[in-house]
Amino acid sequence: MLTEPNNAMLHKITFDTTFHKTSIFAITASVIFAGAAFFLPESFGDKNSPIEYAQLALLLLCCYYTYTANNRRALFTLFGFVFFFLFLREINYGRTLWFMADPNDPNEFRKWKEIPYGWLAHPLVGIYLAVLLLVFVCRKMWRDVLELLSSTRLPKWEMLCMVLLAISAQLVERLSHCCKLEESLELGFYTCVTTLTWRYCRGKCTPTAASHD
């Protein structure tokens, strides 16, 4: 049960509606990526394509920003481990790396049961996530999250762009199966995530009036 101060924090959450340079960059890049998908070869929708490598690079950049944060180091370090999990998930924990692909089909890979000790992959991922959750709960990091949300204005435009890109990518995957467009939308999503991570880890988010009191 949240304490009264934490409940008060929830009511202080506000949005920053200013178009910052990072907002303009993230939105512009996302539009360019989505538009470029219509002119790129179909191979750009394959596994281990340049688009997918760009996504992985952005996730590693997020890890770097969180591990070198100049505030709330414990919380952002935990977020860094979450980003590393997302990085591993993008390559299916190593199963879909380029050298694991079928020589005749870049999108065909061996099943976990066909890989020596492959059965260990999902249990290890479960342990990894359980440890992160345990640290989050035991160190009561939800308080840090609430304090972060209440002391800064949430970047409205990057967050709105992220939501729209995530929904669009899901719709494309389910309805059109255009892999290169889906991957391009995901690249835009990760671009927004990266700019948000940079702003929070470098203390560039607009503070709320209450945080000056």
Helix axes 21-36, 179-201, angle to 10 degrees: 170
pTM summary value = 0.85
Choose the most confident range, by mean pLDDT, from 7-16, 94-103, 120-129: 120-129
For residue 105, being part of any structural domain is answered with: yes
Which residue is it, tokens 């890989």?
Answer: 115
- The per-residue pLDDT for 40 is 87
Beta bridge partners of 202: none
How many domains does the chain fold into?
1
For residue 115, being part of any structural domain is answered with: yes
Question: How far apart, in whole angstroms, are the C-alpha atoms of residue 142 and residue 159?
Answer: 20
Q: State the pLDDT confidence band at 13, using cuts at 50, 70 and 90.
A: confident
Q: State the pLDDT confidence band at 209, using cuts at 50, 70 and 90.
A: low
For residue 96, being part of any structural domain is answered with: yes
For residue 100, being part of any structural domain is answered with: yes
- 141-197 confidence digits (pLDDT tens): 888 888 888 888 888 888 899 999 999 999 988 888 788 999 999 999 999 999 999
Contact indicator for 185, 132 with CB cutoff of 8 Å: no
Which tokens hold the place of 100?
């694991």
pLDDT(213) > 50: no
For residue 53, being part of any structural domain is answered with: yes
For residue 212, being part of any structural domain is answered with: no
For residue 51, being part of any structural domain is answered with: yes
- The per-residue pLDDT for 30 is 93
For residue 5, being part of any structural domain is answered with: no
User: What range does the domain containing 50 cover?
Assistant: 32-206
Q: Where are the alpha helices (DSSP H) in the chain?
A: 4-11, 21-36, 50-67, 73-90, 121-138, 142-151, 156-171, 179-201
- The per-residue pLDDT for 160 is 92
